Amino acid sequence: MSEIFEAYMIDRGANEALEAGLMRRAVRELGSSGVLIRVSFSSLNYKDALAARGAAGIVKRFPHVPGIDAAGRLVDDHEAPPVLVTGYGLGTEIWGGWGDYVRVPPEWVHTIPAGLTMREAMILGTAGLTAALSVEALLQAGVNAAGGEILVTGATGGVGTMAIMLLARLGFTVVARTRKPAQEAYLRSLGAAAILPLAADDETTTGKALSKARFAGAIDTVGGPILAGVLKEIAYGGAVATCGMAAGTRFEGSVFPFILRGVKLLGIDSVQCPRAVRETLWTRLATTWKPADLAVAARAIDRQGLGSAITEMLAGGRTGRTLVVLDPDEARSSPQE
């Protein structure tokens, strides 16, 4: 094992200016406690894009390696099956998956279940786990496939894409709300039955306290005024799983969806969610919930491509999941599907 590794890092340079790019570091800088993993694949999540721009509240100290997802092999046990880490403090509290190696507490490490390759585990990544948590929350709230249409917002994004695929796999009728109507063919290929373009002056985001009760449930990945609009469109007894904030952290609304239609608002957290819940959902993602063709939802880049991908993501312009390949040898031997 090399004592030096490469990582996409951010640091504060002269005058506190943010510097970002590929840098070489010593493996010993990862510390000595915990499990050392040779990372083969990571991914790009919205939180990573914020971290890569040095967002206060995500990056605890500099220099820093972003990457809240990692899949790879245990350095000290070559016979062990491949593993994954998502969330906890990876890529936030400690150096993350955009480095050749991560060292993490053992309780953060999950064996990739049979039925998923490392590549597929990272196409899913935090986005797939978040979508699975959202679907599970809707099911637990009594929303089922026979109950009517389900709305997914931020539909072309990572979580949105995964949510559409999982819901379609489970037989739900999915309506995709997007700012990118030109991606209709892509959204239909994921399993969306209908596309609702989001206009800047969309009446669901303004005006009356309630709109037509169209949807049995929703997964909102966007937050802000989009979430406020979604709540108005949920039918009696329905539920909204909310996980995102790309359009803002605050939203205005009234109590009417809750007190006149009994609508439930369900908070989703993939970062600290309990280990047992993760185990259950990763097993489902590898088996009964596994989309038929995960590869259609992802583009692969290497770390040289991260800079432009981050810019595009923060502008809301990216589509689907971005797989980050760290180990080209592993990528060549890991099947596409």
Ligand X SMILES: NC(=O)c1ccc[n+]([C@@H]2O[C@H](COP(=O)([O-])OP(=O)(O)OC[C@H]3O[C@@H](n4cnc5c(N)ncnc54)[C@H](OP(=O)(O)O)[C@@H]3O)[C@@H](O)[C@H]2O)c1
HSE toward the beta carbon, residue 25, CA cutoff 13 A: 23
Among 54, 66, 157, 229, binds ligand X (CB under 6 A): 157
The answer to whether the Cα torsion of 241, 247, 253, 257 is positive or negative is negative
Minimum Å gap between C-beta 132 and ligand X is 11
Residue among 155 and 216 whose Cβ is closer to ligand X: 155
Among 213, 265, 271, 301, binds ligand X (CB under 6 A): 271
| Residue 66 contacts ligand X per CB under 6 A | no
Give me the helices (H) in 141-207, please: 158-169, 184-190
Q: Is 246 in the site for ligand X (CB under 6 A)?
A: yes
Binding mask 120-149 for ligand X (x = CB under 6 A): ------xx--x-------------------
Q: Which is nearer to ligand X, 30 or 151 (CB)?
A: 151
Torsion (CA) 115, 117, 123, 129 in degrees, nearest 10? 50
CB of 192 to ligand X, least distance (A): 11
Taking the least distance from each CB to ligand X, the nearer of 9 and 268 is: 268
Q: Does 334 bind ligand X (CB under 6 A)?
A: no
Choose the stretch contacting ligand X; rule: CB under 6 A; options: 97-105, 111-119, 258-266, 268-276. 268-276
Q: How far is the CB of 29 from ligand X (least distance, A)?
A: 28
Contacts of 77 (CB under 8 A, 6+ apart): none
Which tokens belong to 70? 């990692």
Residues 321 and 49: their CA atoms lie apart, in Å, by 13
Beta carbons of 249 and 228 less than 8 angstroms apart: no
Task: Pick the closer one to ligand X by CB: 105 or 316.
Answer: 316
Q: Quick check: 337 and 295 in contact, CB under 8 A?
A: yes
Side chain identity, residue 160: G
Tell me which of 222, 285, 309, 310 binds ligand X, using CB under 6 A: 222
β-bridge mates for residue 9, sequence order: 21
When binding is defined by CB under 6 A, the residue of 318, 323, 325, 330 that contacts ligand X is 318
Binding mask 188-207 for ligand X (x = CB under 6 A): ----------x---------
Torsion, Cα 301 302 304 307, to 10 degrees, reads 50
313 binds ligand X, rule: CB under 6 A: yes
Would you give the DSSP letter of residue 94? B
* 168 closest CA partner among 178, 160, 158: 160
Give least dist CB 207 to ligand X, A.
Answer: 18
What does the chain come to in residues?
A: 337
Q: Which residues bind ligand X (CB under 6 A)?
A: 45-47, 126-127, 130, 154-160, 178-180, 198, 221-222, 226, 243-247, 268-271, 313, 316, 318
